[in-house]
Amino acid sequence: MTRAFVFPGQGSQAVGMGQELAQSHAAAREVFEEVDEALGQNLTKLMFEGPIEELTLTENAQPALMAVSMAVVRILEKDGNMDFAKTAKFVAGHSLGEYSALTAAGALTLTDAARLLKARGLAMQQAVPVGVGAMAALLGLNIEPVEEVVAEARDKAKAGEVVSAANDNADGQVVLSGHKGAVEVAIEIAKEKGAKKAMLLSVSAPFHCPLMQPAADEMAERLKEVVIAPPRVPLVANVTASEVSDPDTIRRLLVEQVTGRVRWRESVLYMGEQGVSELMELGAGKILTGMVRRINREMTGSAVGTPADIDAFLAKL
């Protein structure tokens, strides 16, 4: 069985995340301690105890989700003697999960990833004043009809307002992002075009659209300061939905990713075309696992986020 390791994005955070891993494995505690030290913040306490409102802040959720993913990876490697490069053919991550994927594959250090994600979260939050932007989930429409919705909404919205398809997650599951007014226009058009559901999401900023350009500029500067090594296995990038291993290309794509579409559906299809039959979601939650069957019925997905999940996975190797 050929597998890929995939890493969750924002929305998978929950109070208590990583606590069971820390209680049962020193390798997890070491990861959390290193992230806390890198940030000069007791992020671990926030992860374990909340409050959820503070944990959900983009600047906290992003490094926290990466930390839990890396705790799982370190346990698999240190306690399970897993050879990462022999176990996975690719890595991929949903939005911030791309940083987790690159850290797991050795392209970024844990310290650099934590600091980059803290900066990314802050920059994304500050790029657009609260209330100006919005995101919406469209269920029941594939990307092609959504492109038509977006084009029509741009014509009908106020001059200068933007709306675009931010996440192509799975068949019938696309997320829009942009100015609030333009997104609301798009919601109404989507309903007319047969969307089963079209609703605003409770998010703090309009991610993965041109309004995020200030955050992309900030990340371009931050990424200049870090070393990116060739990953142990290729990354399937959000922006291109194809594999990349060249550090300079990875750096460029991480900048483009801030304003660009997360092409998750296409990324999973690409991995399937390359022979991947199993996606293992390493970290908090099971959101990506739930999408697998909707994208490729021949592929299986499993979430590995608890000590029991880890034991079950290692037993299969």
> What's the angle, vertex CA 204, arms to CA 17 and CA 128, rounded to 5?
140
Distances (CA, A) of 62 to 65, 153, 171, 292: 5, 31, 26, 22
Question: In angstroms, rounded to a whole number, what is the distance separating the alpha carbons of residues 272 and 263?
Answer: 14
Give the catalytic positions in this structure.
95, 208
Helix intervals (H) in 13-83:
19-24, 26-39, 43-49, 52-55, 58-74
What tokens does 137 get?
């989930």
Rounded to the nearest 10°, the torsion over CA 246, 232, 223, 174 is: 90
Q: What is the DSSP letter of 240?
A: T
What tokens does 225 get?
């300061």
Question: In angstroms, rounded to a whole number, what is the distance separating the alpha carbons of residues 77 and 82?
Answer: 5
For 106-133, b/e burial (b = at least 16 CB within 10 A) is: ebbbbebbbbbbbbbbbbbbebbeeeeb
Phi, psi of 168 (to 5 degrees): -100, 90
Sequence letter at residue 75: I
Question: In angstroms, rounded to a whole number, what is the distance separating the alpha carbons of residues 286 and 294?
Answer: 14
